[in-house]
Amino acid sequence: MDINGKTILVTGANSGLGAAVAARLAEGGTNVVGLDIGTGSAAEFSERFGEKVVLLEADVTSSADCSRAVAAAQSRFGGLHGAVNCAGVAPAQAVLGKDGPHDLELFNRVVSINLTGTFNIMRLVAEAIVEAEPGPDGERGVIVNTASIAAYEGQIGQAAYAASKGGVASLTLPAARELARSGIRVVAIAPGAFETPMIAAMPQKVKDSMGAKVPFPPRLGQPEEFADLVAAIFTNRMLNGEVIRLDGALRMTAK
């Protein structure tokens, strides 16, 4: 898909991977509707890209919030051609810790945001994409979801996070198979250790240690590198139904 002139919805767009994706798509001529629970970056996006990027406050687990966002994208830009799901949380807690068993409410919250929120956006955006005119090969749109290498090598303390991201990975193929009839591709990215706000808050010594475990390049991934892969997925129509690891060959140990 040629992203120039298209409209793409990006969740978690206020910071981290989502902000990098929003900027990369806008640089390619895309109209971006960013969703997040905060919109503090709105002024910066406006200064850089003018009216091509709009940030809306929305909870990805809310059907009403996301329905309004999709409608706003269609109304503002005349249609919708894709989505990139970057919204997520990653709290750590043991299944059985010193203070007792894993908090069930926390587990449900992680799955609700990371997995259910992803599905919520995907189903609503897919409904909007089918209204678009098909392009080459009958393609109408692309949906990119964010999994994690924790889906395959979850560490101790990542039970909730790994379960939620494993769900995103498993969702990829059946969704791609079903939406193929509508000309919609579905791809997931499983990033490794990336310098997101969650990691940025850690001491430099800890970040250096995490980066050194990556075979090559021996450093943390940058959000812009994630965004570059997103852009490549949109432009390559043969990428479909796949979970792509973006991790510098990192394989996580137990802890």
The 10s digit of each residue's pLDDT in 32-79 is: 999 999 989 999 999 999 999 999 999 999 999 999 999 999 999 999
Is 161 noted as a catalytic residue in this protein? yes
Locus of tokens 């943390």 = 220
Q: Read off the tokens for 22.
A: 């929003």
**β-sheet with 184-191: strand ranges across:** 53-57, 31-36, 7-11, 82-85, 141-146, 184-191, 243-246
Between CA 210 and CA 229 the distance in angstroms is 22
Of these residues, 161, 194, 226, 234, which one is catalytic?
161
Q: Please give the Cα distance from 151 to 158 (Å, whole number).
A: 10
- Classify domain 7-245 by CATH architecture: 3-Layer(aba) Sandwich (3.40)
Tens-place pLDDT, residues 127-150:
999 999 999 999 999 999 999 999
Residue type, 255: K
